[in-house]
Chains A and B, each alone.
Chain A
Amino acid sequence: MKQFGYSINPDRQIDYDLTDKSLLSFIVSFEPSLLSCISCGTCTATCTAGHFTDFNIRRVHTLLRRGEITTLKKEIQKCMLCGKCQLACPAGVNLRNLIRSIHVAVEKFNV
């Protein structure tokens, strides 16, 4: 059984007040279509990389919105930019450019 005890466990909650949302507004200016996402999961269902790893391209959008940058940085490295998700996306999100924009932003701001 998991020991909750009295040891000092790091807080597992997303502290929305503390997370970094600056990246989101930067990315939105590059790729506004990300705001159309309805979290339906079509992208993840069809994702080539997602069949082999725990990569979940839908979560990229959520992580960005929540400001979970550290996880986000690791996630986007798994994408092959093949574009299948974009062809399937019912909301018209420009997923290839979204991933690329996040990479550019991460490099630019060195986050």
Chain B
Amino acid sequence: MGKSVIIIGGGIAGMEAAARIAAMGKEVILLEKSDQLGGHLRKWDRLFPTRRKSDEVFEYLSNGLNDKVTIRLNIKINKIKKDDRHFFVILEDGESLKSDALLLTTGYDLFEAGKKEEYGYGIYDNVITSADLEAMFRNSAEIKTSGNQKPRRVGFVHCVGSRDEKAGHLYCSKVCCVTGVKQAIEIKEKQPDTEIFCFYMDLRMFDRYFEDLYYEAQQKWGIQFIRGRLSESCENPDHSILVKVEDTLTGRPLKMTVDLLVLLSGFVPSSDTNKLADMLGLLPGSDGFLTPVDEHFRTNETQVDGLFLAGTVKGPATIENTITDARSAAISIIKYLEK
């Protein structure tokens, strides 16, 4: 009988790894907790930096899943056991799935913006998150305030829940900067009259063509960047939002009214990852994400023999990096199975 792999998490990493492993003739069971594959990708409209439709990426990933892949949706895992050679994933209804290797691709959760109470998410109607804004893009709706008006001025807050000891996450979530700039440009494309301000601490345009996007935002769209982190916001009687920030470049506190405030929520380890790591005896890193055996040479392996990691379960990453990492995991797993 051929060897098989169970992949937990049907997001980008899970789908791509499943496709690659199946292409090499191994049986794959792809477990997904929700009722559809694709994870966060399904909630996104266009992707940075090229503004390709996210659906195109999803289509590509879906096409890779051949008949060697068994997709199981709406799965809840009760327990995971391991003997010398096999993993046993026991589902909530008691069903036990057996495999020779296990891959965790359980990804991330978006930081709950309401935890950063001083920014007013969940309190003020016109404070939304980047995910909320993306949903508006996806519905191709006009961007409107709670009062059903076109916003004259929109603010983007970088690093919400990232680089923040008080929020419990000291790390940088990497992709929020470029997401913010991308979304700012998209608003401008739709509604060019809107004035846009980005409140940032450091713009981390680390990847290829990201910097170009930043230039485009400034040069083509006149988007303004204010270096300072928001301390708090309050609501004006007309439900617009008054933000307080230091303009660190002039060294003076600055207040500004915006009609819509977008919080760029960061990545946090997904709640399911923590539970699974517990079952498998994996110790998360100081940031809560899971850590491979070696960050250079064994990037997908764990301390547990036959257990692999891929994608944002290991920390914030772009879609491109996630896909590459899933392929790397597939190679490691095939090598392990043929050992």
Asked if A51 and B229 make an inter-chain contact with CB atoms under 8 angstroms apart, the answer reads no
Q: Is A38 on the interface with B (CB-CB < 8 A)?
A: yes
CB of A98, distance to nearest CB on chain B (Å)? 15
Asked if B201 is at the interface (CB within 8 A of a chain A CB), the reply is yes
Give Cα distance in the complex from A42 to B71, angstroms: 47
Chain B residues within 8 Å of A, Cβ to Cβ: 118, 159, 163-167, 201-202, 227-232, 244-248, 251-254
Report yes or no: A45 in contact with B163, Cβ–Cβ below 8 A. Answer: no
- Is the Cβ of B229 less than 8 Å from the Cβ of A45? yes
Contacts A38-B201, A44-B246 given; 10 further ones with Cβ under 8 A?
A: A39-B248, A40-B159, A40-B229, A40-B248, A42-B246, A43-B246, A45-B230, A56-B252, A88-B166, A90-B165
Cβ-based interface call for A47 (8 A): yes
- Asked whether A41 is an interface residue with its Cβ less than 8 Å from the other chain, the reply is yes
The residues of A that contact B166 with a CB separation of less than 8 Å are 87-90, 92
List, in ascending order, chain A residues with CB within 8 A of B247's CB.
41
Chain A nearest CB from B170 CB (Å) reads 8
Instruction: Determine the distance from Cα of A73 to Cα of B165 in the docked complex, in whole angstroms.
Output: 29
Nearest Cβ in chain A — how far from B158, in angstroms?
10
User: Which residue on A lies nearest to B243, using beta carbons?
Assistant: A45
Minimum Cβ distance to chain A for residue B126 (Å): 19
Question: Given the complex of chains A and B, what is the CA–CA distance between A43 and B232 in angstroms?
Answer: 10
Question: Is A105's beta carbon under 8 Å from chain B?
Answer: no
**Inter-subunit contact A41/B244 (CB<8 Å):** no
Residues of B within 8 A of A90 (CB): 159, 163-167, 229
Q: A51-B253, A56-B252 are in contact. Are A42 and B165 (CB under 8 A)?
A: no
Interface of B is mostly: strand
Are B231 and A92 closer than 8 Å at their CB atoms?
no
Q: A40-B248, A58-B248, A88-B118 are in contact. Are A46 and B163 (CB under 8 A)?
A: no
> In whole Å, how far is A15's beta carbon from the nearest beta carbon of chain B?
21
Q: Which residues of A contact B (CB under 8 A)?
A: 36, 38-47, 50-51, 54, 56, 58-59, 87-92
Q: Is the CB of B165 within 8 A of A92?
A: yes
CA distance A42 to B229 in the complex (A): 5
With known contacts A42-B246, A90-B164, A92-B166, A59–B229 Cβ distance under 8 A: no
CB proximity of A71 to chain B, nearest CB, Å: 12
The answer to whether B229 and A46 touch across the interface, beta carbons within 8 angstroms, is: no
Contact partner, A45, options B159, B164, B202, B246, Cβ 8 Å: B246
Nearest-neighbour CB distance to chain B for A82, whole angstroms, equals 13
CA distance A11 to B30 in the complex (A): 69
The CA of A62 and the CA of B330, in the complex, are separated in Å by 49
A45-B228, A92-B166 given as contacts; is B253 within 8 A of A40 (CB)? no
Residues of A within 8 A of B118 (CB): 88
Give the shortest distance, in Å, between A41 (CB) and chain B (any CB). 3
B232 x A41 contact (CB < 8 A): no
Taking a contact as CB atoms under 8 Å apart, the answer to whether B251 and A40 are in contact is: no
Return chain A residues, CB-CB under 8 Å to B231.
Answer: 42-43, 45-46, 88
Residues of B within 8 A of A38 (CB): 163, 201-202
Chain A residues positioned under 8 Å from B165 (CB to CB): 36, 89-92
Cβ B246 vs Cβ A58 within 8 A: yes
B163 touches A41 (CB 8 A): no
Tell me the minimal C-beta distance from A104 to chain B in angstroms. Answer: 25
- Tell me how far the C-beta of A77 lies from the nearest C-beta in chain B, rounded to whole angstroms: 18
Minimal beta-carbon separation of A65 from chain B (angstroms) = 15
User: How far, in whole Å, are A36 and B232 apart by their CA atoms in the complex?
Assistant: 21
Residues of B within 8 A of A44 (CB): 228, 246, 248, 251, 253
Top 6 A-B pairs ranked by shortest CB distance? A41-B246, A46-B231, A45-B231, A92-B165, A44-B246, A40-B229
Chain B residues within 8 Å of A51, by CB:
253
Point out the residues of chain B lying under 8 angstroms from A50, CB to CB: 253
